[in-house]
Amino acid sequence: MNPAAPRKGFVSKPKALNCPNCGSAIELRALGAAAGVICSYCSSTIDATNPQLQIIGTWKAAMTIEPAIPLGSRGKLKGVLWEAIGFQQRGIEVEGTNYFWREYVLWNPYQGFRYLSEYDNHWNFVTPLQVLPAPSMSGLVYANESYRSFQTARAYTWFVIGEFPWMVQVGEAVDTADYVKPPKMLSSETTENEVAWSQGEYIPGTEIWQAFQLKTPCPPPIGVYSNQPSPYVGRVRSSWLFYGAMCALLLCLMVLFATLAPNKMVLDKNYVVNPATTVEKSFVSDLFTLDGRNDNVEVRITADISNQWVYFSMALINEETGQAYDFGREVSFYSGSDSDGSWTEGGKTDDVLLPNIPGGKYYLRIEPETDPARAGGLKPRIPFRVRIVRGRPFYFRYFLGMFLLLIPPIWTSIRAGSFESKRWSESDPSGASSSNASSEDDE
Amino acid sequence: MSKFYMAYSMLVAGGLAVSSLTGWSPFKPYEKVDGVPKSVRNNPGAYRSHYAGHARYFGGK
Amino acid sequence: MSTRNDICSNCGAEIRFRWSGAVQTTCEYCKSILVRNDINLALVGKAADLPIDISPIQIGTEGIFNDKPFQVIGRIVYRYDLGTWNEWHLYFSDGSNGWLSDAQSEYAVSFANSFTDAPPAEADLHRGLTMAQHSVPLYLTVITDAMYETTEGELPFTSYDKEMCRFADFRTNDGRFGTVDYSETPPLLFLGQFVAFDSLKLKNLKEFEGWPNA
């Protein structure tokens, strides 16, 4: 007769409920936890907290929607088993067009109520929040994270079915405000009597389909959603870090090869051009050896000239193989002074880099040519100096390489920026409300 | 930051290293001529350069 | 735990008190509300049937809050315009007691406190009101008018003569909350914090048909 150890309670399924309006049987999936129940046959909203099952209202819906997750389905999300017990479609009006989204009520007897909201096949797992977020410059701060204001709107309920923790009505209106920090979102819903806060976390549709084992094909999401995480966030940063590392690598290579470059002077000789001569103007240099299998050769000519040009037709000839590299270079220098002051044009030195020259014994054939029409002030003979260096280092191409390597991180940054533009294109411009939200009066 | 970027970067770096070793350049400021006889060393005039005789524009203010 | 044993003056069942501070209790068998005086238990009324009771917590549930173990020894069910909620009476291992509120499975633990600043008058309550108690800034979020629906187990006060009362709920930016209970004059203050179900490590919960246990 005495109560012994603490009793273990067992909550069994309530007996079948009959709609007080039309008499049809109503299944109570939340075993009585839900305050508002909609009869799926006659659409009456029933106050399930009242033992008399009072009817709150009946309504004629302008639309009937089939929930993607059938009511009564169970799925495991966040390590907890949930049952979908209620569904509603809500909408806002922006410039004459209605935008609808859908919400599911999930229930677990120990964890209570959660919600799944879906828009354009973007899904969010929503938890009611008891903590008040604190306002900040651009939105809110909660749990040390800053959320940016995204949108405010007045939302109307268009269609309801199943069970809800409150007595939901078609035509019910709330003022909503959304703040995002992808993948999370904070939302407030304001009615006359209270403000309710909730936190949403973006969840891909494929995860929902897998959790609830839905047989229908999972539709792809459309566009970018307010708190959809960007696939580029990590990639932008890592591609720029990699670029930095590559630049460092290229600089090291440049310095390395510059140090290893032979830079060997193989010929440094002075010659003379005699413009007045009538005999053969061309001549050849002494033999010199170019080391290595393949490398470049720099030919530098410095001519002591003034207000004239000298053209050198040259050929670098391999004495053994008979291979010649034919080229021509000009040295020209002019100077004078006028009303603006003194000026110069050109230079007394010219250098050219001959690439990809095999090693071997070489000589240089030079055929100089001067301007025949030039009169006055000409030196009859023009001394010039020829310097040949084997194996010069390359510099410019490394900077060109660093420029080419910029393309991928810039491309990634552009795509990331475009993703964010698409996200924010759906938001309220500079905080303005997208529909007529009535101002709240604090009495 | 993908495998593609990694491969592209290695290609660029590799190309720079190889060209630095071989002295290769896409610019060829010369023309290659084969079979120049050894006698040209004694008689330079016998060699007809492809770059001989040029007319030019006079510079200067 | 008290060793005093009493007899229900209605049905004669043995009543064993878990808490020495209990002022009233409800007989589990005949649902009579019994008020304790020095001599015996006086019958003062009958507890209403519990409404559809889907809270996973029950009398005898055990848990931990802030590293202190507790046992659930009593309950008050309040009814308001949108339904009901539970206030579970907690008895801690160090002899103190507190409350676990349970509304649609949102849980909060609170303790009776004294006001450091004067409480707002009941007539002055409006959304947006703020007050500070014990240096904690509190923002009014809900005003609720509620009445006792029924009671169960051991409570630190008598409930049989309580009617409609007003509660003002305050929240903070860091998960704490406060409630001003205007059912008495002067009003009562309860301060506490919201807790996640898992953090209470509750044992001896109810079982639900068709559901795996927590």
Whether A292 is covered by a domain: the verdict is yes
Residues A246 and A125 in one domain: no
Whether A3 is covered by a domain: the verdict is no
- At C193, which helix (H) or strand (E)? strand C188-195
Angstrom CA distances, A52 to A17, A18, A40, C53, C85, stand at 11, 11, 19, 16, 18
Question: Nearest-CA residue of chain C relative to A132?
Answer: C173
CB contact under 8 A, C204 and A81: no
Alpha carbons C5 and C10: distance in angstroms, whole number: 15
DSSP A395-420: -HHHHHHHHHTTHHHHHHHHHHHHHH
Whether C41 is covered by a domain: the verdict is yes
Q: Do chains C and B touch (3 or more CB pairs under 8 A)?
A: no
Nearest beta carbon to residue A111 from set C82, C105, C171:
C105
**Chain A residues within 8 A of C214 when measuring between CB atoms:** 110
To the nearest whole Å, the CA of A180 is away from the closest chain B CA by 26
Residue type, A399: F
For residue A3, is pLDDT > 70?
A: no
Nearest beta carbon to residue A353 from set B25, B36, B52:
B25
Alpha carbons A160 and A2: distance in angstroms, whole number: 48
B57 vs A: CB within 8 A: no
To the nearest whole Å, the CA of C200 is away from the closest chain A CA by 12
A121-145: average pLDDT? 93
For residue A354, is pLDDT > 70?
A: yes
pLDDT > 70: percent of chain A:
89
**Chain A residues within 8 A of B8 when measuring between CB atoms:** 405, 408
Residues A387 and A404 in one domain: no
- Our count of domains for chain A comes to 3
Residue pair A434/A152 in contact (Cβ under 8 Å)? The answer is yes
Residue numbers of the domain that contains C15:
5-46
- pLDDT attached to residue A91: 93
A315-340: average pLDDT? 92
Alpha carbons C74 and C62: distance in angstroms, whole number: 12
Whether A133 is covered by a domain: the verdict is yes
Alpha carbons A212 and A83: distance in angstroms, whole number: 9
The per-residue pLDDT of chain A, averaged, comes to: 86
Whether C204 is covered by a domain: the verdict is no
Helix (H, G, I), strand (E, B) or coil at C20: coil
Whether A437 is covered by a domain: the verdict is no
Q: Which residue would you say has higher pLDDT here, A442 or A136?
A: A136
Whether C20 is covered by a domain: the verdict is yes
Question: Nearest-CA residue of chain C relative to A13?
Answer: C209
Write out residues 365-384 of A within 8 Å (CB-CB) of B. 365, 367, 369, 371
Chain B interface disruption, residue of A255, A311, A326, most B CBs within 10 A: A326
Residues A24 and A108 in one domain: yes
A316 vs B: CB within 8 A: yes
Residues A350 and A409 in one domain: no
Q: Which of A49-63, A167-181, A227-241, C136-150 shows the highest mean pLDDT?
A: A227-241
- pLDDT attached to residue A432: 41
We report the CATH number of the domain holding residue A363 as 2.60.120.380
- pLDDT attached to residue A197: 93
- pLDDT attached to residue C161: 60
Whether C21 is covered by a domain: the verdict is yes
A83-106: average pLDDT? 91
Strand runs (DSSP E) across C37-123, as ranges?
Answer: 41-46, 62-65, 68-80, 83-92, 97-103, 106-113
- pLDDT attached to residue A51: 64
Per-residue pLDDT tens digits for A190-221: 887 778 899 999 999 999 999 999 999 999 99
C169-192: average pLDDT? 89
**Chain A residues within 8 A of B54 when measuring between CB atoms:** 311, 313, 328, 330, 369
Whether A387 is covered by a domain: the verdict is yes
Alpha carbons A395 and A408: distance in angstroms, whole number: 23
C109-131: average pLDDT? 87
A291 vs B: CB within 8 A: no
Residues A270 and A419 in one domain: no
Residues A25 and A168 in one domain: yes
Nearest beta carbon to residue C60 from set A6, A12, A113:
A6
For residue C101, is pLDDT > 90?
A: yes
Helix (H, G, I), strand (E, B) or coil at A255: helix
CB contact under 8 A, A324 and B54: no
Q: Which residue would you say has higher pLDDT here, B61 or A10?
A: A10
- Our count of domains for chain C comes to 1
Q: Which of A91-100, A349-358, C35-44 bottoms out in mean pLDDT, i.e. has the lowest?
A: C35-44
Nearest beta carbon to residue A9 from set C29, C197, C206:
C206
Residues of chain B with pLDDT under 70: 1, 52-61
CB contact under 8 A, A130 and C51: no
A320 vs C: CB within 8 A: no
Alpha carbons A402 and A405: distance in angstroms, whole number: 5
DSSP β-bridge partners for residue A326: A315, B31
Per-residue pLDDT tens digits for C199-208: 999 999 998 8
Per-residue pLDDT tens digits for A13-53: 766 678 888 888 887 887 777 778 888 777 778 877 666 67
For residue A284, is pLDDT > 80?
A: yes
Question: Nearest-CA residue of chain A relative to C211?
Answer: A109
Q: Which residue would you say has higher pLDDT here, C90 or C81?
A: C90
Residue numbers of the domain that contains A239:
234-257+398-431
Nearest beta carbon to residue B17 from set A238, A253, A363:
A253
The per-residue pLDDT of chain C, averaged, comes to: 85
pLDDT grade for A59, boundaries at 50, 70 and 90 = low
For residue A94, is pLDDT > 90?
A: no
Residues A100 and A210 in one domain: yes
Residues A194 and A222 in one domain: yes
A143 vs C: CB within 8 A: no
Whether A363 is covered by a domain: the verdict is yes
Q: Do chains A and C touch (3 or more CB pairs under 8 A)?
A: yes
C92-111: average pLDDT? 91
A424-442: average pLDDT? 56
pTM greater than the 0.80 cutoff: no
Whether A116 is covered by a domain: the verdict is yes
Whether A87 is covered by a domain: the verdict is yes
Residues A296 and A402 in one domain: no
